[in-house]
């Protein structure tokens, strides 16, 4: 499937990617992937892609030692390192152009899919431009009224409705008292419908959705509940990431110009913040099923570039550090928020897989990347997060190839040192 023999009959050369599907495992470091592979008992689908590399994750933040998802998403989406918290806005306040913006300008269909709020930092970096990731209602407005993202699937309905209008998911549900509509930009679901979006809020609705533009909001906030082990964490989305991915591809593929789709599994990061190993590692497997859905499309459409990577590592997960009882103290008292009595099931899980957390925050570790399709060979070896943008837009021929592409060898992994 690598490279592809034909361009889908539309005259695009074999080296061009008509469509791109970028999978981001938020917080998915090498150990999260390793543990998921061992849990599964065989290689992950993403492991089977022909091209592998490693991505540096630093932001341009002068204070923070490690990146957040806003700066990391911005680096991936726009090729510019910025300050933590910024969404496709540069360190000097300048508006940055994302690969989704360029795909849209080239007439391609565009989509954003995630298991957290669809207006959260990672998808936002591709589809909006705001100085602070907290402006989720403005991010939602920009998706539908400025960027015109065609397929928008995820959670975070609370940001699409003004306070007092619960929308489809009730405010203050019993188990989640912090969830209530809080948008300050009016009823954005109604405005989306006025702009031609089909709006859905259930798995069945998504299955039946037709049309070029689809907005699917499947939870007040996240499609899961992140918590430390034994504290009520749940990963039971009403629509799976794989199902959202499959439907997004079906809808976007109707555009003969091709499409750009970003798919994020956010639970890897959120569960890692809570040092919940079973659900963080399990979320890697959910992402892997979504990757399989993308690959199924790419096998029929070889002019599709598939990339699987992460924005940063989360939790400082270590493998092989089989915890002694003494070490358990390190694991389980990282800070007040997650201080907890030991959960035997969690301890057993970590012992079985030899896992130990070292933090409840992000780390500066490089993250793995796997890829296939036109242009993927340029992603091999050691790259930096800002390298992804020129390689993807070059593969899609969205803008003239930036100068640095001319310096990169076209055939494989002899790329230079990390930048």
- To Zn ion, the closest distance from the beta carbon of 48 in angstroms equals 27
d(CA 388, CA 119): 22
d(CA 183, CA 165): 9
The alpha carbons of the chain give a radius of gyration, in whole angstroms, of 20
Active site includes 69? yes
Of 291 and 314, CB closest to Zn ion: 314
Of 267 and 307, CB closest to Zn ion: 267
- To Zn ion, the closest distance from the beta carbon of 33 in angstroms equals 17
Angle between helix 344-353 and helix 30-40 axes, rounded to 10 deg: 90
Question: 58 is written with which tokens?
Answer: 């630093």
Considering the candidates 69, 98, 240, 370, report the single residue annotated as catalytic: 69
- To Zn ion, the closest distance from the beta carbon of 226 in angstroms equals 10
d(CA 304, CA 288): 17
The count of residues interacting with Zn ion (CB under 5 A) is 2
| Span 309-328, contacts to Zn ion by CB under 5 A | 314
Residue nearest to Zn ion (CB): 269
Answer whether 29's CB lies under 8 Å from 270's CB. no
| Span 167-226, contacts to Zn ion by CB under 5 A | none
d(CA 140, CA 148): 10
Question: 178 is written with which tokens?
Answer: 């912090």
Of 124 and 314, CB closest to Zn ion: 314
Of 24 and 396, CB closest to Zn ion: 24
Of 314 and 383, CB closest to Zn ion: 314
- To Zn ion, the closest distance from the beta carbon of 365 in angstroms equals 13
**61: nearest Cα among 85, 79, 78:** 85
| H or E segment and range at residue 246 | helix 241-252
Cβ contacts of 392 within 8 Å, gap of 6 or more: 17, 20, 22, 99, 305, 307, 375
Q: Which stretch binds Zn ion (CB under 5 A): 249-257, 286-294, 308-316, 391-399?
A: 308-316
Of 21 and 314, CB closest to Zn ion: 314
- To Zn ion, the closest distance from the beta carbon of 270 in angstroms equals 7
Answer whether 223's CB lies under 8 Å from 232's CB. no
Question: 175 is written with which tokens?
Answer: 């188990």
Angle among Cα 148, 307, 243 to the nearest 5 degrees reads: 65
- To Zn ion, the closest distance from the beta carbon of 27 in angstroms equals 5
| Span 258-287, contacts to Zn ion by CB under 5 A | 269
d(CA 338, CA 87): 28
Active site residues: 69
**Site residues, Zn ion (CB under 5 A):** 269, 314
């Amino acid at each position: 499937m690598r490279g592809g023999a034909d361009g889908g009959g539309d005259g695009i050369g074999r080296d061009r990617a008509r469509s791109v599907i970028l999978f981001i495992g938020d917080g998915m470091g090498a150990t999260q992937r390793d543990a998921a592979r061992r849990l599964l008992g065989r290689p992950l689908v993403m492991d089977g892609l022909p091209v592998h590399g490693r991505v540096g994750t630093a932001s341009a933040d002068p204070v923070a030692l490690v990146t957040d998802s806003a700066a990391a998403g911005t680096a991936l989406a726009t090729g510019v390192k910025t300050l933590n918290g910024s969404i496709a806005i540069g360190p000097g306040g300048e508006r940055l152009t994302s690969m989704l913006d360029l795909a849209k300008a080239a007439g391609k269909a565009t989509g954003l899919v995630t298991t957290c709020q669809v207006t959260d930092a990672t998808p936002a970096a591709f589809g909006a431009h705001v100085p602070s990731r907290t402006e989720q209602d403005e991010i939602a407005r920009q998706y539908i009224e400025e960027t015109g993202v065609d397929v928008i699937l995820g959670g975070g309905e609370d940001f699409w409705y003004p306070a007092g209008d619960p929308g489809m998911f009730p405010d203050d549900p019993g188990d989640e008292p912090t969830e209530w509509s809080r948008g300050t930009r009016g009823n954005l679901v109604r405005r989306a419908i006025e702009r031609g979006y089909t709006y859905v809020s259930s798995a069945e609705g998504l299955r039946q959705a037709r049309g070029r533009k689809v907005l699917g909001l499947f939870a007040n906030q996240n499609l899961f509940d992140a918590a430390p082990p034994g504290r009520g964490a749940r990963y039971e989305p009403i629509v799976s990431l794989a199902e959202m991915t499959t439907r997004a591809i079906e809808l976007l593929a109707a555009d003969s110009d091709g499409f750009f789709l970003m798919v994020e599994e956010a639970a890897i990061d959120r569960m890692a913040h809570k040092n919940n190993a079973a659900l963080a590692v399990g979320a890697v497997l959910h992402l892997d099923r979504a990757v399989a859905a993308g690959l199924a499309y790419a096998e029929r459409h070889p002019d599709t570039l598939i990339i699987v990577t992460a924005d940063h590592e989360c939790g400082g997960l270590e493998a092989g550090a089989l915890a002694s009882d003494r070490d358990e103290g390190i694991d389980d008292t990282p800070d007040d928020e997650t201080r907890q009595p030991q959960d035997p099931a969690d301890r057993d899980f970590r012992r079985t897989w030899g896992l130990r957390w070292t933090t409840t925050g992000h780390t500066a570790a490089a993250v793995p990347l796997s890829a296939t399709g036109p242009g993927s060979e340029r992603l091999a070896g050691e790259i930096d997060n800002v390298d992804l943008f020129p390689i993807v837009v070059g593969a899609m021929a969205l803008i003239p190839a930036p100068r640095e592409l001319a310096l990169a060898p076209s055939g494989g992994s002899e790329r230079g040192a990390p930048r």
